[in-house]
Amino acid sequence: MSESVRPRALFFIPEDWYLCTHRLPLLRGARAMGFDVTAVTRVRDHAGPILESGAALEPIRLRRGYRGLVHEIKGLWQLIKVYRRIRPDLVHHVTPKCVIYGTLAARLAGVSCVVNAMAGLGFVYTSQSKKAKLLSPIFTSTLRVLLRGYGTKLIVQNDDDVAFFRDHIGVPGPSIELIRGAGVDTAHFHPPEQEPEGPLRVVLVARMLGDKGIFETVEAARLLKTRGRTDIHIILTGRVDTENPAGIPRKDLQAWHDAGIIEFTGHVEDVPALLRTCHVALLPSYREGLPKSLLEAAACGLPIVATDVTGCREICLDGVNGILVPPRRAAPIADALEALADDPERRRRLGRGSRELAVRDFDEAIVTKRTMAVYRELMEARR
In a domain, 190, yes or no: no
Of the candidates 291, 305, 127, the one whose C-alpha atom is nearest the C-alpha of residue 202 is: 305
Structure confidence at residue 177 (pLDDT)? 96
Q: Based on the fold, state whether residues 225 and 129 are members of the same structural domain.
A: no
- Residue 2 within any structural domain of the chain: no
Is 325 in the same domain as 368? Answer: no
Residue 276: give the domain boundaries.
200-361
Residues 127 and 276 placed together within one structural domain of the fold: no
For helices 96-109 and 130-146, the axis angle rounded to 10 degrees is 30
Q: What is the dihedral of CA 260, 262, 263, 264, to 10 degrees?
A: -120
Residues 225 and 133 in one domain: no
pLDDT score of 126: 65
pLDDT of residue 2: 47
pLDDT in tens, the chain (383 residues): 544 579 999 999 989 999 999 999 999 999 999 999 999 999 988 999 999 999 999 999 877 666 667 878 888 999 999 999 999 999 999 988 899 999 999 999 999 999 999 976 766 666 667 776 777 788 888 888 888 888 999 999 999 999 999 999 999 999 999 999 999 999 999 999 999 999 999 999 999 999 999 999 999 999 999 999 999 999 999 999 888 888 999 999 999 999 999 999 999 999 999 999 999 999 999 999 899 999 999 999 999 999 999 999 999 999 999 999 999 999 999 999 999 999 999 999 999 999 999 999 999 999 999 999 999 999 998 87
Instruction: Count structural domains, the chain.
Output: 2
CATH of the domain at 274: 3.40.50.2000
Residue 189 domain-assigned (yes or no): no
CA distances for 234 relative to 62, 170, 251, 256, angstroms: 36, 42, 18, 11
Whole-angstrom CA distances from 173 to 137, 161, 347 are 22, 12, 40
| Residue 381 CB neighbour total at 10 angstroms | 12
237 and 341: one domain? yes
Asked if the structure places residue 192 within a domain, the reply is no
Same domain, 273 and 142: no
One domain for residues 36 and 161: yes
Residue 13 resides in a domain: yes
44 and 152 both lie in a single domain: yes
Tell me if 3 is assigned to some domain. Answer: no
In a domain, 107, yes or no: yes
20 and 166 inside one domain? yes
Residues 281, 240: one domain? yes
> What is the pLDDT at residue 3?
47
Q: Is residue 92 part of a domain?
A: yes
How many CA within 13 A on the CB side of residue 256?
Answer: 25
R_g (Cα) of the chain, nearest Å: 21
C-alpha angle 262-263-268 in degrees, rounded to nearest 5: 140
Q: What is the edge-to-edge ordering of all strands in the sheet holding 56-59?
A: 56-59, 36-42, 8-15, 90-94, 113-118, 152-156, 176-178
Q: Are residues 209 and 219 in the same domain?
A: yes
207 and 174 assigned to the same domain: no
